[in-house]
Structure formats: structure tokens, C-alpha cells
Structure 1
């Protein structure tokens, strides 16, 4: 079943002003994001897209661990806009998290909003993106969080660093595509190309793409690549011909060094790798290609770029090529996921909850609901525990803080209301419940969530993202999770710590986190099509007893819907 339909592009430009230090250790970094429309050519097509500060991808935001970050977003386009700081924990500052109608009202055309948050206990690579409709197709960029001054990386310092943003491109207007698909009750059109730093690359059929991204390296030097999957709907393999890559960080968390020749990065994930320029002078192909091991249609184009040794005599020197992994390369994907481990050092421990206060079991997948106005009389919907989430018109955080009745209920099911063979053919009744339900957690509770893929219509991988928290991926398997036998396989010593995790096709993933951040926190599939269909839910985390454990009051310029 196709999962996509059309595109609109938003570009963000950044004017960075470094303000006076607030203390010995922390400074305030001030950015301005002007959301504007710009004509841009990609894949032999020219169209007007949404951008930030006129750039696609948008500008990179730089900060250090401990910095306060102020970003003023000014909306100059005829669309509502919000910006989400994906992976930034937003300790007690959920007002600035960004998902529309979850934590804030949108920034309406002609209006602005000042995001104000502090980078606490994080360093590495994250991303920012629009969090309303499908605008993040082009409204996205990198967040680079450097260690505190004087604190080295826990690995040899690279000669240089480079940000590499992976994405998708549609020739048509993206908002038109998804809106029409939602009206018809079917999957939207897939994208027309994958991009690397905004370009499909020199292997594209489009002649104008010959000036794609080029990574210049010097022989004998080591480089750190900060790789971000900003694509809407595709897991992506990443590979450089003739070179090994050493993974040292994912989702702004240091890892045990892991050497591989292929990366797998799901939408919303980031991966930092060390690249040793240890091959003979020449040019080497860098590529991204989709991973999908289920009968689901995805964009099967390969985005490319060039790794170029600067001592190569000519830009026309021989190009070393390779064959990308097959689209359904499950073994490659599983090996990569299973090989990642948290660094778990004295300086950067893995504080895995050893006991569980709230044990949740979430089935994730799709359903089919009646739709009298749709072409088949039905609509495909996303579901967690047979519940299709309905977005409210009043942000849940505001309703929670001000005790506004009628916006949500606190009866999100902790377990599936219907038991069935989850990875089998599925139940006969494909209909789901609709509602705006949340699950309430006491402050500092330890939480375990089993994310179980289902075979309703088809099994499929799902990149699940949790706002406001990192979590530990303590277990993973194929088939149905067994509460009797599966926990014996859990890693409670050095499991990888992330904010987004790919649940395997026809399988399950177990995550654990501590609810030590009061507020309202979104959890959803980062395939944008599944989020549009309702594969999402919300955690409400109560205040603790101390002032430092309490949600800060809303900003004075709190937006109204």
C-alpha cells in the first residue's frame, strides 16, 4: 500500500549572535529563524517551497552543553508553523517543545514566537524540524551540541567535522499530496528522490544535480560526519565506497566505538561516525538508499554524493562505485541495530532503570475505519492499542496546566484491549477507537514500554520517537513478545540510549526510561504518514515535590489558537 502523496518546502535561515556570558560555564545563544518561501530547483523541477532563512536544508544551530538557547521564529508564509527541537530534553520547559496542539498553538502567519530552552546533560548531534502537517519535508536542519569548554570527546579528536542531512524530495506540493490522500482515505504518493544536503547527487537523471554535495578530505586525516535522517517516511542505509565508518554517537549519546561499512538511520535519528581517509587518492561514491522489508511501497531511488581526496589531480578522476544494499536487507539492518551499545563509562554512565513501576504494552500498526466521503468508503488509520489519536484544537499542555475540561481524557490503555496473534494475519475487525487520551505518570516513575508491531494489513517497521526523554533500548526481537521468555534476553548493562527507535517489522522492542521531566510529552511514529493517520499518544508526567521538579509557568507570549 503506498504511504505518500505531495510536497511543500519550508527553508529556515539563521542569523547567529553570541551574547555575553551569563556565567563561567554557560552562555546564551540567540538565533532568528525567518520562515519564508523560496523558489528552488531539484530533480529538474522548480517550485516554491517553505524555507527557514532561505535555505534547504535549514541552517545549523550550534550550542554547547549547558548553554541557554533563544530562537525567535518569525512566520512569513501563509501556513501555520511550529518548530520542534528533536531530542532536546526540554527539562521543565515543555512549552517550547514544539508539536502543534500538543504543547503549543501554532505560530500563525505574520506572528512570531520565542523558543527558550537550556541544553542540559546532552552533547552530540540532534535536529530541528517543523512539527505541523508535513512541513518538515523541507523545514529542518541540524543541531550541533559541542561538549563544555575544556571537555574532550571520549574518542580521538577529528581533523574536521561535517553535517550531512538526509532527506526526501517531491516534485509536487507536499501539503496538497497529504491533504488529498487524507480526503480519499488512501496512502499518499511516495517521494521522487532522496537527497544528501539538499541534492539528489551526480548519479541522478537530472543534469542540474551534477553539483551535488561533495565531501573533500585529505589523505591520512580523520573526519567526523554528523549524519541526520530528516526524511519523512523512509529508513535509510548510508555507505561510502571503500571506507569503514566508526560509530561514536547516536541521538546525542556517546557509544562504544563500532566499526561498520553500512549505517541504518531511521527518520529522526542521528549518527556520528569517524571516517578515516585511508584510501588511495581519487573519488568515492557516497550513497543513501531505502530499507523496507515489508510489502510497502517506498521511494527506491538512491541519493548520492562524492567523497573527494583533495590531492586527486582531476575532478574527473576515476569514481569508485559500489552496489547499495537490497531494499529488504533485514540481516544488515538487524546487525547494525544489535551492535550499538552505550559507552557506559564513569563520565557517561548508562543509568538503566533496574525496576519497573509502570509496565506498558503498546501494539502499533494500522487499522481501517469507515469514511463515507472516501473513495472506498473507508480510511486507513494509525493505531496504538487500537486507539487512533485525535488531535485537539486546544494544546494538551495548556489544558493540563490550566485545568481546561473536555480536551483530553486520562484513560489511554496500558495494554491492548483485544488480544490476538499480533504478527499474524490480524483480527477480522480492523476498526479502531478514536479519542484524545493520555497516560498519566507520577514524577520519577520508572517506565517500561513494549512496542509490538502488528500484522494488520501488513507488518512494517516503525521509528518511534518519544519527546522529552531519552530511553534505553533493553530488548528487541522478531515475532510476538513473550512476558515469560523475552525479558531473559534484556540488556540492562549497556543498552543503547536513544530518543527514536526503529521497531522491527513483525517484531518488538522494549524500552525503559525514568519519568523525571514534568509536563506533556508526545510519542509517535516518525514516519510522517503514520503520524497523520493517528499513530501517536501522549504521556502526562506530574510535578515532583521540589521546585526543581516542577513544570515552569508558561511564557508571557504564550500563543493562542
Structure 2
């Protein structure tokens, strides 16, 4: 009897207090090297990780610890950013150069160590200094914990599809020349799907990516936009896609024949091979709804059903015009958080900090530039100046003179943001952060402006996910627009496009101590200074505080 009673107690204990699921430690080594590759019938040397373009994927499960040793064997300074990883109390591993770390110099190494807490889905890693991320990028695949199913039908297979841009010339030379002349940088020469541009003019060697499928099977496509400067449309001829996840956050399933994806964003979509066996075009094309020049190259690959003869005819697909704003707006407005019992939306309702940030491109004097002026990016009329000491390091050690914490929460000089262009387009320079207390709730309205070249700005927040509770065209109305905010199931992301001459409102909980970058993910705008940072103070006790830096933290 006593034995039976003790077994009952053991059973109840196992039910009420289940054993924790063991998490793994995933080790990776990233050797940053120069590699010769052939694209568009030309061979050039590019910066890669382990000689691969795109770079090697990181595979892990929710709760796993990822340890990546990055060894810099090239002439450039290097950092790696784990885009979208929350980095809870691991800000030293976030990666943006001179924000959370000094870069890894030639011949040196650094070990990134972080845990994937409360996340599952697709993210990406990329270089976060200068324009190196053009070729230094790869996928982060976060699987659910063992025995935890997807909240959608299990796919037959999963495929990573990385979209990018390709320059025939050296990208570091492209941006360096642009910064010296004050002129916009040269456009890319092609777009790529998993490193392949597809058939291109005057290049018979330019092959495209092929996705092999079986009739009747469903595939989970993990789509990543790793392009430097281009918003992209993604489409497969004669097939619909069911979006189930964006930026490693589950969504209510939506069926669509086209996906819009901005630089830095990821999308998980289900593809069912439900058409007549054949070969169907995969196509990507740029989105730009203003006069800003863009790489117009449409790159293609193919979905190929198994069992076909060697050279089947390809069914093509028509892409939307590059200025298809209604397509983009309809797609983005259809995205909603899953908001289930297991994956609830946790939208902040009471707001501690309400910020209004104008973002755009201006013009500053430049005596050494071609036209005596240079293009600059700004937030609230401040063009961010990169320091020579990492801000996080300066904050942790109390090093003065590196940054100030007086970033304005509102525009210093209000004006008609989407109306006629002001006569004075000059900005102020500064290395400023906006400071918030631990566990503060923050609302940020990002307002696009009509300076110089109004366009869509994919804006990325480090160290946090946010909810996009509202968006619109024209100037944000603080009295009218909040009445239509979605506070129930808004989409949760880490990167969201501010529409051309429009606005978005985002909310997040500042529950991660450290310094966290907010910037446009168009690399040209980041280079021009369209960026700022949040400083989240420590909370109470060690579990709410930033730990000391690792011993191998690179020095400036």
C-alpha cells in the first residue's frame, strides 16, 4: 500500500512539475575569408563565411544556446549581427559595430554566445559594419522545442530561400566612393535567389535556383530578404502561398499569390505542389513607389516537379509593377499575430514613453563633395555619428564623451512632414541615445518625410520585438489615428516598413537592459546616418541587469 501511494506521489509530481526540456548548446565556427565566385559571367573575390555564399545556416531549437566563434581573416573590420534574436541580457553578442562592440580586426576573433529564448521561426545573421552584409549573411533556423508541434500542418520538407543583391564591382568601393563624393551609391547589377541571379542578359552561364518538389506534398519555405537596399516581391507561377510566420513570430494563416518582403524581414510560407506536374518560375522583383532609382533586374528560379523530362517548358509569372503600392499595403494590412492561448499577443496597453520620430533623407554642406553637398539620413533632424568607442562599452564602464542620452522624443522643429519640402534641409550631427527605465512600455510613431527622396523605410529595432498597432498615409494625427489602433492581434515583428510619405506606430516592452540600435535597414540610409539607439537601464538585481562583457570583447 505504501509503495502504491509513493508511486502515485511520483506520478503527480511528474504531472504537476514536469522535468524541464533539456536545451542543447550549438557550436559553430565562422571563418571570414575572401572567396572567388562567378556571377553574371564575371569572377570576383568576395567576403564570405567558410567560403560559402550565402553563408552557412545556424540550426537550433527554442531554448538552445548558440556559440559562434568568428575568426577574421580578411582586410576589413568585421562584426556579425544575429538579426531578430532577442539577446536577453546578452547585448555584448548583438553585433552592430561601435554600438554594442568594437569590430573584430584582421587576424582576431570573438565568440558570440547567446540563448534563443522564447523564439521559434526564421531569422538571419549578417555583417553589421559598412556594406559587408552584401555577401556576409545567412539563415538562422529556430525549430520549436522537441515534441512541440507547429501551429499549422507539418510540412513534408523545409527549404531556406535567401534573397539578395549582387554587384559586379566591390561593394566596399561602391560605398566608399559614394561617401567621398556625396552622391548616391551605384545600384546593384542583379538580385539573387540563394546566391543565383538566374538567366541574365549577355550571360549564358547565369543559372537560377531550382526547388524540387513532389506532387501533393507541402513545403515550408523560409524566405529571407538579405538584400542591402531593395524591397522585394516574391512569387511562384500558378501557386498560392500560405504565410504562417514573419520575423520568427507566428501569424494567422493568410493565403496569397505574392509576398512582399523588405530587407531584414523573414517570412515562413507553406507551398503545396498542387498544380499539374511541370516547371514553374520563381521570381523576385523590386518595389519602389517613388522616383528613387532602383535595380530593375527581375531574377528567376524554378519550382520543378519530380519525374519530369530533362528540359521541360517553364510556366512564367507576371510580376507587379515596381510602384505597386496597393499590393504592398494590402499584404501588410492582412498580417495579424496568431494570438492563440499558447502564443498570445502581449501588446502594451499603458504607455510610459510616447515618441514621435520623423525619418528621412536630407542634405548637408560638404566642401570636398562633388556638388558641395552630401545626402544624409536623419531621425528627428539628427544625423547619427558613429563613435570610435562602442556605446554599450562606454555605458557599462561610465566612459564619458562617447554619447549623450538627450535624443529628442519629438521633432525639434515641427513642419508639414509629407507636404512641401522645407527650404532648409540641413540636419544636426550627434551621437545621442534615448534612455528608458527597465520594463518601461514604449510607443514610437515613425513618420516618413518628403525630404529629397521620400521612400519606404524598413526600420529594424535590435533586442526587442514590437507590435505594429497602426499605419497610414500622410501625416500622423495624434487625435484621430490612435482610435483605429489594433491592440488585440497586431503583427509582431522586429523590422517593419514605414510607408512612403506615411507613418507606422509600434509598441514594445523595454525588458532588455543594454543599448539597442534602431535604424533603417536600407544600407545606404544606415550609412548616411538614419539611425539612433535606445539605452535600457538595469532593473533590480542580477536577472534584470547587463552582465560584464566577455573577456575576448574586441578592442577599438
TM-score of the aligned structures, taking structure 1 as reference length: 0.95
State the partner residue of 2:25: 28
* Local SS of the residue matching 1:530: helix
Q: Name the structure 2 match of 1:446.
A: 441
Q: How does 1:166-315 map to 2 (within 5 A)?
A: 166-202=163-199, 205-210=202-207, 212-312=208-308, 314-315=309-310
Q: Deviations over 1:60-91 (max 9, x none)?
A: 10000000110000011111000000000000
Q: State the partner residue of 1:13.
A: none
Q: Deviation per CA, 1:87-107, whole angstroms, max 9, x where unpaired? A: 000000000000000000100
Contact 1:409-1:438 within 8 A present in 2 as well: yes
Distance 2:299 2:337 in 1: 30
Deviations 1:291-344 (A, max 9, x none): 0001100100011101000022x1311211121110000010000000000000
CA apart distance, 1:424: 1.1
The 2-side partners of 1:122 and 1:332 are apart by 29
Question: Which residue among 63, 66, 71 is the counterpart of 2:63?
Answer: 66
CA deviation after TM superposition for structure 1 residue 350, in Å: 0.4
CA 1:182–1:492: 2 relative to 1, 3 Å: same
- CA shift in 2, pair 1:49/1:150, >3 Å: same
For the 8 Å contact 1:367–1:383, the answer to whether it is kept is yes
Whether the aligned pair in 1 keeps the contact of 2:361 and 2:454 (CA below 8 Å) is no
2:191 and 2:299 in contact (8 A); partners too: yes
Alpha-carbon separation, structure 1, partners of 2:114 and 2:311 = 47
Would the aligned equivalents of 1:389 and 1:436 in 2 still touch at CA under 8 Å?
yes
Which residue of the other structure, out of 533, 547, 553, is the alignment partner of 1:552?
547
List aligned pairs for 1:3-18, cutoff 5 A. none
The aligned residue for residue 114 of structure 1 is: 111
**Is contact 1:420–1:426 with CA below 8 Å preserved after alignment?**
no
- SS state at 1:488 partner: helix
Q: CA deviation at 1:546?
A: 2.8
Contact 1:236 1:264 in 2 (8 A): yes
Structure 1 residue 24: Cα displacement: 4.4
Residues of 2 paired with 1:42 and 1:427: CA distance?
44
Residues 446 and 505, structure 2, Cα contact 8 Å, conserved in 1: yes
CA drift at 1:458: 2.7
Report if the CA contact (8 A) 1:127-1:141 is conserved. Answer: yes
Match of 1:398 in 2: 393
Q: What are the superposed Cα offsets for residues 343-396 of structure 1, whole Å, 9 maximum, x if unpaired?
A: 000000000001111000000001111100001111110000000000000000
Deviation, 1:186, is 0.8
Alignment partners' CA distance in 1, 2:314 and 2:553 = 54
Partner Cα separation in structure 2 for residue 415 and residue 24 of structure 1: 46
Identify the residue that residue 4 of structure 2 maps to in structure 1: none
Q: Please tell me whether the aligned partners of residues 365 and 459 of structure 1 are also in contact (alpha carbons under 8 angstroms).
A: yes
The alpha carbon displacement at 1:205 in A equals: 4.3
> Take 1:148 and 1:400, find their aligned partners in 2: how far apart are those partners?
35
Given that residues 204 and 303 in structure 1 are in contact (C-alpha distance below 8 angstroms), is that contact kept between their aligned partners in structure 2?
no
Who is 1:19 aligned against? Answer: none
Q: Distance in 2 between matches of 1:261 and 1:527?
A: 25
1:204 is displaced (CA, Å) by 5.3
- Unaligned 5+ segments in structure 2 are 1-19
Per-residue deviation, 1:203: 5.5
Cα contact 2:163–2:225 (8 A) shared by 1: yes
RMSD: 1.0
Q: Which runs of 4+ in 1 moved over 2 A?
A: 202-205
Q: Is 2:413 the partner of 1:409?
A: no
Q: Please give the alpha-carbon distance, in whole angstroms, between the structure 1 residues aligned to 2:238 and 2:312.
A: 16
Taking the aligned partners of 2:536 and 2:425, their CA distance within structure 1 comes to 31
Q: Mark the runs of 5 or more structure 1 residues left unpaired by the alignment.
A: 1-22
Query: Is the contact made by 1:423 and 1:454 (CA closer than 8 Å) also made in structure 2?
Result: yes
Determine the structure 2 residue equivalent to 1:11.
none
| Alpha-carbon distance between aligned partners in 2 of 1:177 and 1:319, rounded to the nearest angstrom | 36
State whether residues 33 and 72 of structure 1, in contact with CA within 8 Å, keep that contact through their aligned partners in structure 2.
yes
Contact kept, 8 Å, 2:40 with 2:200, in 1: the verdict is no
Q: Which residue number in structure 2 is paired with residue 500 of structure 1?
A: 495
Q: Distance in 1 between matches of 2:230 and 2:61?
A: 30
Q: 1:538 aligns with which of 533, 537, 542?
A: 533
Deviation for aligned residue 1:147: 0.2
Give the alignment's TM-score, normalised by structure 2. 0.96
Bigger CA radius of gyration:
2
| Counterpart-to-counterpart distance in 2, 1:305 and 1:483 | 45
Picking from 422, 425, 430, the partner of 1:427 is 422
- Which of residues 456, 461, 464 is equivalent to 1:466? 461
> Which digits, 9 at most, give the CA deviation of each residue in 1:201-247, with x for residues without a partner?
1355421113x210000000000000000000000000000000000
Structure 1 residue 144: deviation in Å? Answer: 0.1
Q: How far apart, CA to CA, are the structure 2 residues paired with 1:328 and 1:405? A: 47
Q: How big is the shift at 1:277?
A: 0.3
Alignment-derived partner of residue 99 in structure 2:
102
Deviation, 1:122, is: 0.1
Provide the rounded CA distance (Å) in 2 between the counterparts of 1:523 and 1:64: 27
